[in-house]
């Protein structure tokens, strides 16, 4: 996913500001990356380069850390973050089919964000709603007993919400 010039500028400025509060001790590398993620929602390549320069390490080493730990994202999250539960109950009740439905419908794979940045897909271990399996979280809102048809319904519902927002904005002008 390509970032706009403005997004790159913001990421660079944010990262430099965070780095200014840390010395170059390598023990600070992961905490800095966590702070970048907290501020931006992900760790873009320009931030990795800034962090690498600050700690005097190759950028590929920073990339290795980011891809090793599950907590870090390489792409910006979507406005609607879809988290598919893959816990035992959800797995046994078809979570893989639900994942494939989301991927097919949105034309993205797990860990990716749609080009329009409306949706991102993630897998989570367990959300603790086993009696409602399979479960999907959309921006932390729980949706249970998900089927491929319900995936279509959730996306359609979002499209209707967007349409209403546009119409409301047009009336306000």
Task: Please give the annotated binding residues, written as ranges.
Answer: 85, 90, 126, 130
Q: What are phi and psi of 51, to 5 degrees?
A: -65, -45
Q: What are phi and psi of 113, to 5 degrees?
A: -125, 140
**Tokens 């367990």, residue?**
126
Pairing of strands 136-138, 80-85: antiparallel
- Per the annotation, binding residues for [2Fe-2S] cluster are 85, 90, 126, 130
The residues that bridge with 84 in the sheet, in sequence order, are 123, 136
The answer to whether the CB of 84 falls within 8 A of the CB of 151 is no
Q: What are phi and psi of 149, to 5 degrees?
A: -65, -40
Q: Where are the alpha helices (DSSP H) in 110-147?
A: none
Report the b/e string of 69-102 with b at 16+ CB within 10 A: eeebbbbbbbebbbbbbbbebbeebbbeebbebb
């Amino acid at each position: 996913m390509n970032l706009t010039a403005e997004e790159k500028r913001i990421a660079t400025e944010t990262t430099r500001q965070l780095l200014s509060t840390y010395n170059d001790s390598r023990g600070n590398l992961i905490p800095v990356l966590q702070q970048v993620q907290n501020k931006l929602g992900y760790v873009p390549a320009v931030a990795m380069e800034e962090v690498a320069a600050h700690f005097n390490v190759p950028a590929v080493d920073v990339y290795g850390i980011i891809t090793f730990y599950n907590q870090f994202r390489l792409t910006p999250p979507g406005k609607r973050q879809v988290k598919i539960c893959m816990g035992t109950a959800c797995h046994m009740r078809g979570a893989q089919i639900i994942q494939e439905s989301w991927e097919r419908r949105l034309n993205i794979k797990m860990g990716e964000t749609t080009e329009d940045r409306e949706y991102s897909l993630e897998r989570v271990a367990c959300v603790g709603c086993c009696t409602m399996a399979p479960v999907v979280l959309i921006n932390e809102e729980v949706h249970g007993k998900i089927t491929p048809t319900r995936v279509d319904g959730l996306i359609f519902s979002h499209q209707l919400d967007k349409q209403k927002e546009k119409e409301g904005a047009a009336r306000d002008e």
